[in-house]
Structure 1
Amino acid sequence: MLWRMISIAARQQWAALVQRGIQRRADRQPSRGMLPVQIGYALPETREFAIQGPGGEHRIFVCVPPAPPPPEGYPMLFLLDANACFGTAVDALRLQAPWPEVSAVKPTVLVGIGYPGEAAFDSQRRSFDLAPAVRNPTWRSSLALGLPWNKPGGADAFLAFLSQTLIGELARRYPVNPADCHLCGLSLAGFFALYAMTQAPGTFRTYVGVSSALWWDDNRIAGDLEGLECQDNPSARVLVVVGSAEIPDNPAVCQMMCQQNRRAVEILNDRGYRAEYLELAGENHQSCITAAMPAILRFVSSRTMT
């Protein structure tokens, strides 16, 4: 498994080099009717900021919806691993928010929390930011972090950064409602979304975990969820999304992830929370966030309507 992780990382680095080489070659070609305008496709309704977090500099991407803000301010949906999924969320919002009577998606400010650079994931930075100190140190605990030199331990500081620093900075710049915030994460970030619910009740109104790596640290999150008291955040809602084919060539892992994510929803409902489980047929660990985005926006919107 370790060598497979290293092989995947090496393959991704090689693919990025090939990609850049192809683009440079295209840029050098003489113009014959098709003129270059700019490098990279821009989303004009978005802005990018830099801010210092506990583990280093972050890139913050903000998309304002195509509608005026409500009197109380826009709700905010925070998207972790934004380098990988922010564009998907923006496209889903811009297609659905203008027609809420059809899409059931209300105007929402999207806030992407990412990292400097062009890679979809910064595995070393995200491992530190999204994973707390290991409680049950085993070889399995390191697998969700991708590579052995990716270390956990910064989740509590990262959560404080989101709840104390970033929300306040956004409220200073945009007509948003700091009391109407929602959190969404993929894989290890999905684990972090549920971990945030156990550590800072009331910070977010909705917690969304997609293809969540709940098995990390010996499935510690199950015990943490069982310790929740609904009165700490009685209005919180949770959406847990998983693909039926998370790792297509490993049925045992698919079954394990579905079972653990389904069990998390059962625990939360037993504790008095409103939690929903969504299993997407045929979707895998890399495709699930894209397929789930319309449902995520609807779920968040249904929360902001009440």
Structure 2
Amino acid sequence: MENTSMKKVTLAGTDAWSVTSGINGQEYRVQIYQPSGKVPASGFPIIYTLDGNSTFAMTAEMMRIQSLRPEKTGVAPAIVVSIGYNAEALFPPKRHYDFTMPAPEKDLPKIPFGRPLPEQGGALDFMSFVEDQLKPLVESRYSVDSSRQMIVGHSLGGLFVLHMLFVRPHSFHTYIAGSPSIHWNAMYLRQQEQKWLEEVSKGRTKLNTRVLIAVGELEGNLKVPMIRNAEEQVERLSKLEEFGVQVAYQAFEAENHMSIVPVLINRALRFNGWAEEESNESKK
């Protein structure tokens, strides 16, 4: 009989925490990857990813591989922090509560096959958890460059990223919204956008913000207007360049609502421009 042994697989350079929110009482699975090698004088850039149950491993490995040669790949070494749940499901129902704003049930999409609608409306509490509890906790244990922070979300997570841009525009330097479910909280999102636009256009809010909104080309086949909503959102935000908001739009060829996730993350790692900034800094 062949002599074999089995060991559990672990990802290099990673830690896992269980963190209970002091705001909503929810317990979160927080997974963190820190690059090996010398820590920059200003600290590492940092990327927060939502839906950590499904996104952490691929994001950490993409970062680990590509940041070996940032001058070639355009990917600067950065800390990756994923926020997920203590569950085996890739997309636990609790994400619905954390990623959505309050809305009357009549205004929400119908769930297929008559399934009950998960609890909604906890996005403001989740924002407070991320900004006021989790980020200080991470920064107390890792060397973080607080001027270079990114958040990445997909689907309802993409909707949450847009909400956070409008409600807490100074929380991150870069906002990545993949296939954002704008239709889910369309009215509330537009209200928050209008308030934010007023602050920005009157010069009350000074920004240095990058935004990427992306969809898969095949999402044009969905019943909801995923692509049109994203394009209209980009069109409105594109008018704010003079106020420090840089917006990009990408429709990934031959990708659908789920297959977009890895290509979105891969694009996000290079979208921030951190590798170029570090290269320019080293030449001074």
TM range (shorter): 0.7 to 0.9
- 1:113-192 aligned at under 5 Å gives the runs 113-123=83-93, 125-134=94-103, 137-138=105-106, 140-141=108-109, 143=111, 147-192=115-160
| Runs of 5+ unmatched residues, structure 1 | 1-30
Establish whether residue 271 from structure 1 lines up as the match of residue 205 from structure 2: no
Change (3 A) 1:200 1:292: same
What CA distance in whole angstroms lies between the structure 1 residues aligned with 2:115 and 2:152?
24
- 1:36-47 aligned at under 5 Å gives the runs 36-39=5-8, 41-47=9-15
Q: 1:78 aligns with which of 25, 31, 48?
A: 48
Deviation of the 1:211 alpha carbon: 1.2
Change (3 A) 1:187 1:303: farther
Task: Tell me, yes or no, if the aligned pair for 2:70 and 2:275 is still in contact at 8 Å.
Answer: no
Task: Tell me, yes or no, if the aligned pair for 1:55 and 1:129 is still in contact at 8 Å.
Answer: no
Structure 2 counterpart of 1:46, one-letter code: T
Q: 2:26 aligns with which of 50, 56, 67?
A: 56
Aligned twin of 1:198 = 166
Deviation of the 1:304 alpha carbon: 8.0
* Dislocated runs of 4+, deviation >6 Å: none
Change (3 A) 1:103 1:304: closer
Change (3 A) 1:175 1:299: same
Give the match's secondary structure for 2:258. coil
What CA distance in whole angstroms lies between the structure 2 residues aligned with 1:170 and 1:46?
13
What CA distance in whole angstroms lies between the structure 1 residues aligned with 2:187 and 2:218?
20
Task: Tell me, yes or no, if the aligned pair for 1:77 and 1:182 is still in contact at 8 Å.
Answer: yes
Task: Tell me, yes or no, if the aligned pair for 1:66 and 1:98 is still in contact at 8 Å.
Answer: no
What CA distance in whole angstroms lies between the structure 2 residues aligned with 1:207 and 1:143?
28
Aligned twin of 1:94 = 64
| Runs of 5+ unmatched residues, structure 2 | 279-284
Change (3 A) 1:204 1:282: same
Give the match's secondary structure for 2:157. helix
Give the match's secondary structure for 2:27. strand
> How many correspondences in the alignment?
267
Task: Tell me, yes or no, if the aligned pair for 2:162 and 2:177 is still in contact at 8 Å.
Answer: yes
**Percent same amino acid among aligned pairs?**
27
CA RMSD of aligned residues (A): 2.2
Establish whether residue 290 from structure 1 lines up as the match of residue 246 from structure 2: no
What CA distance in whole angstroms lies between the structure 2 residues aligned with 1:98 and 1:222?
41
Change (3 A) 1:73 1:245: same
Aligned twin of 1:244 = 217
Change (3 A) 1:102 1:303: closer
Structure 1 counterpart of 2:240, one-letter code: R
What CA distance in whole angstroms lies between the structure 1 residues aligned with 2:108 and 2:190?
16
